[in-house]
Structure 1
Amino acid sequence: MTELESLAGYALDRAKIEDTVAAFVLALDARDIQGAVGRLAERVTWNYESVTGRPSAEVSPGELAARWHATIVHTDASQHFLSLPHIRVDGDRARCVVHARVEVRLSNPGGSPSTSTNGTYTFGLVRAGHGWRIDSVTMVLLWNDGNSRIMELAAEKGARE
């Protein structure tokens, strides 16, 4: 393989990885849970320990879909802001690290209607056919602002409906 072919292959992989990550978070914000799940591998290591205190766990896309159906779909809105992707490809594996700010809104009688989680996401990806699937998500929290109970309140709202 020539250097030019190698660079072209990396550029194509990079574009596909960025597209996979963007499609995943855009689907979540649009409440398109199936669209988000469609970007995932068969098993996903989910690590939000720095945000929730719960340890990292390997879960299925179906388990994540159930979580999102119980929480995020019951919020008024969410928006994931991701920037500055740092991507490394090693054969059929890749890693994409981005700055992240996640805003979630939910009108509620218990305080502020919004929360903001700020940190970095590290997405692990595995090559799947001509594209990529996310097989790990790690959020490293830098700081939170607002009502830290928003997702808990959304789950309570969902349980009532």
Structure 2
Amino acid sequence: MTSSTARNDYARDRAAIEDTVAAFVLALDARDIKRAVGCLAERVTWNYESVTGRPATVLGPEELEARWNATIVHTDASQHFLSLPHISTEGDHATCIVHARVEMRLANPGGSPYTATNGTYTFGLVRAGSGWLLDSVTMGLLWTDGNPRIMELAAEKGQQR
């Protein structure tokens, strides 16, 4: 393989990896849970320990779909801001690390309608045909602002329906 071919392959992979990550968070923010699930591998290591204190767990797309249908769809709005992707590939596996700010809104009688989580996301990806699927998501928390109960309140709202 020539160095030009290797650069072209990396550029194609990088673009596809960035597209997968963007499609995933844009789908969550649009409440298109089926589309978000379509970005996932058969098993996903889900690690929000730095945010929730709960250890990482391996979940299937159906389990994540149920989680999001019980929480994020019951918020008023969310927006994932991601920037400065650092991407590395090794064969059929890739890592994409980004700065992240995730904002959630939910009108509630118990406090601020806003929360923001600031840190880094590390997305692990596996090659799937000509594209990539997420097989791990890790949030590395730096700090939070606002009401830390927003997702808990969203889940309560979902249970009331």
Category of TM-score, reference length = shorter chain:
over 0.9
Question: Could you tell me how far 1:91 is from its partner in structure 2?
Answer: 0.5
Structure 2 residue matching 1:123: 3-state secondary structure: strand
Superposed counterparts of 1:48-87, under 5 Å: 48-87=48-87
Aligned length: 161
Q: Which residue of 2 aligns with 1:116?
A: 116
Letter in 1 for 2:110: G
Deviations 1:21-76 (A, max 9, x none): 00000000000000000000000000000000000000001000000000000000
Structure 1 residue matching 2:88: 3-state secondary structure: strand
The percent identity for this pair of structures is 76
Q: Which residue of 1 aligns with 2:98?
A: 98
Q: Which residue of 2 aligns with 1:152?
A: 152
Is 1:89 the counterpart of 2:103? The answer is no
Q: Which residue of 2 aligns with 1:18?
A: 18
Structure 2 residue matching 1:55: 3-state secondary structure: coil
Structure 2 residue matching 1:109: 3-state secondary structure: coil
> What are the ranges of 5 or more consecutive residues in structure 1 without an aligned counterpart?
none
Q: Which residue of 1 aligns with 2:30?
A: 30
Q: TM-score, normalised by structure 2?
A: 1.00
Structure 1 residue matching 2:109: 3-state secondary structure: coil
Letter in 2 for 1:124: G
> What are the ranges of 5 or more consecutive residues in structure 2 without an aligned counterpart?
none
Letter in 1 for 2:132: W
Letter in 2 for 1:159: Q
Question: Could you tell me how far 1:153 is from its partner in structure 2?
Answer: 0.2
Q: TM-score, normalised by structure 1?
A: 1.00
What is the root-mean-square deviation in Å for CA atoms of aligned residues?
A: 0.2
